[in-house]
Structure 1
Amino acid sequence: MPVDPLHSAARPSRSAPSPLSSGSEAYAVEVRRSSRRRRTVSAYREGERTVVLIPARMSEAEEKRWVGVMLDRLAAQESKRMLGDAELADRAQRLSGQYLDGRARPATVRWVTNQNTRWGSCTPAEGSIRLSHRLQGMPEYVVDYVLLHELAHLLVPGHGPRFWELLDAYPRTERARGYLEGVVAADRLPHLPAARSE
């Protein structure tokens, strides 16, 4: 049974870009190699696709890793347009309709600043969902996963097989869980003093 990270890239094709989801939008990814580019990697949206610019000498493994990094950075930048509580509630309604047949109907969905050890929580008896303010600025698919996780708790308490079956419908569950686990792991790393130049 999966561990619940709330409490504790696909390979792009240059000739036939593959659609990758960012939040509710799908973008084709196009990788452009440049012999003039030495070390830097950049990415931007161009209409319905995401263009990732990389050095020509980069290996396929490095390309795959950097495409994932740049997609996450773009998604995080886009989600920094702060969602208010009303937009969060609309998003929850959309997710419920798309992945839970509209069965999860929260009475309230809101951001809170007093949840520092959990990403989200819900009170099924009240139909209330609360998301930690720490999610603000994270990629949209991560916020969607946490919202969907709490929506599923309105239907199934606990983290048994029935609960995880509900989340299986969301295609970015594993990626979102990995992202959150990475954030938790990074928070636990000791903070090293800045290097001094002699």
Structure 2
Amino acid sequence: MTSPTPEVEVRRSARRRRTVSAYREGNRIVVLVPARLSKRDEERMVADMVRKVQAAATRGRSTDAELMQRAAQLSTRYLGGLAHPVSVRWVTNQRARWGSCTPANGTIRLSDRLQGMPDYVSDYVLLHELAHLLQPHHGKSFWALLEAYPQLERARGYLDGVAFGVGMPADQEDEAVDGLDESAADDPGEPGSLASSALDG
């Protein structure tokens, strides 16, 4: 039995010069291409990117239990085993952020759009949320917790590229990584709360 052909949406951007990227958004695969790309090159590159997203999704799709196990591994390796989430799960309703956590009850949620992206990217988002269990806000002490992760800048650059491709303002790209629940924050205006439409444009 063959898998159904996925719905593919191609988004052209005048701001994108040379790079092409793709990610899963619900049941669709979104491919971001430069506005000046020829139709012929677009067809070839879109087909290639769709294959890569599908292959990565098949290879990298994990269950909530596996995600919880990965969280424990990342906590041990990079946070000295100090972060102990109560639950870690995939969710389908986070369209404007990659992950979120509630430090008050130890829950972490990752957007299912990360499935199909490279492992180092989903690991970064998961590690980012684990760090929030130890330090709720984005201060120096928070970023110090992530310094040991060797793919930190590469993963942030990857997510920035996806955010840029869908039109997120540059000053909000980093904040899309997580959404700190306001009930757990000292200040509702603390970084981490992002307008729900920011990544949907």
Q: Same fold (TM over 0.5)?
A: yes
Report the Cα distance in structure 1 between the residues aligned to 2:165 and 2:74, rounded to whole angstroms.
29
How far does residue 75 in structure 1 lie from its aligned partner after superposition? 9.4
Instruction: Work out whether residues 56 and 117 of structure 2, in 8 Å CA contact, stay in contact via their aligned partners in 1.
Output: no
Aligned counterpart, 2:91 = 112
1:178/1:146 Cα in 2 relative to 1: closer, same or farther (>3 Å)?
A: same
What amino acid does structure 1 have at the position aligned with 2:113?
A: R
Aligned counterpart, 2:120 = 141
How far does residue 77 in structure 1 lie from its aligned partner after superposition? 3.5
How far does residue 188 in structure 1 lie from its aligned partner after superposition? 2.1
Report the Cα distance in structure 1 between the residues aligned to 2:52 and 2:149, rounded to whole angstroms.
21
Please give the per-residue CA displacement for 1:96-141, whole angstroms capped at 9, x wherever unaligned.
0000010000000000011111100000111000000111100000
What amino acid does structure 1 have at the position aligned with 2:63?
A: G
Please give the TM-score of this superposition, normalised by the length of structure 1: 0.56
CA RMSD in angstroms, aligned pairs only:
2.1
Aligned counterpart, 2:104 = 125
Q: What SS class does the counterpart of residue 131 from structure 1 fall into?
A: strand
Report the Cα distance in structure 1 between the residues aligned to 2:75 and 2:88, rounded to whole angstroms.
13
Report the Cα distance in structure 2 between the residues aligned to 1:131 and 1:75, rounded to whole angstroms.
18
Report the Cα distance in structure 2 between the residues aligned to 1:85 and 1:91, rounded to whole angstroms.
10
Aligned counterpart, 2:76 = 97
Q: Which has the larger radius of gyration?
A: 1
Please give the TM-score of this superposition, normalised by the length of structure 2: 0.55
What amino acid does structure 1 have at the position aligned with 2:145?
A: L
Aligned length, in residue pairs: 118
1:164/1:84 Cα in 2 relative to 1: closer, same or farther (>3 Å)?
A: same
Report the Cα distance in structure 1 between the residues aligned to 2:135 and 2:84, rounded to whole angstroms.
13
Q: What SS class does the counterpart of residue 160 from structure 2 fall into?
A: helix
What amino acid does structure 1 have at the position aligned with 2:156?
A: R
* Higher helix proportion (structure 1 or 2): 2
Report the Cα distance in structure 2 between the residues aligned to 1:102 and 1:173, rounded to whole angstroms.
19
What amino acid does structure 1 have at the position aligned with 2:75?
A: S
Aligned counterpart, 2:151 = 172
How far does residue 95 in structure 1 lie from its aligned partner after superposition? 0.1
Structure 2 spans left out of the alignment, 5+ residues: 1-50, 169-201
Please give the per-residue CA displacement for 1:52-80, whole angstroms capped at 9, x wherever unaligned.
xxxxxxxxxxxxxxxxxxxxx97984454
Q: What SS class does the counterpart of residue 142 from structure 1 fall into?
A: helix
Matches within 5 A, 1:32-111: 77-78=55-56, 80-81=58-59, 82-111=61-90
Instruction: Work out whether residues 87 and 106 of structure 2, in 8 Å CA contact, stay in contact via their aligned partners in 1.
Output: yes
Report the Cα distance in structure 1 between the residues aligned to 2:54 and 2:72, rounded to whole angstroms.
22
1:79/1:168 Cα in 2 relative to 1: closer, same or farther (>3 Å)?
A: farther
Structure 1 spans left out of the alignment, 5+ residues: 1-72, 190-198
Aligned counterpart, 1:187 = 166
Structure 1 segments, 4+ long, off by >6 Å, are: 73-76
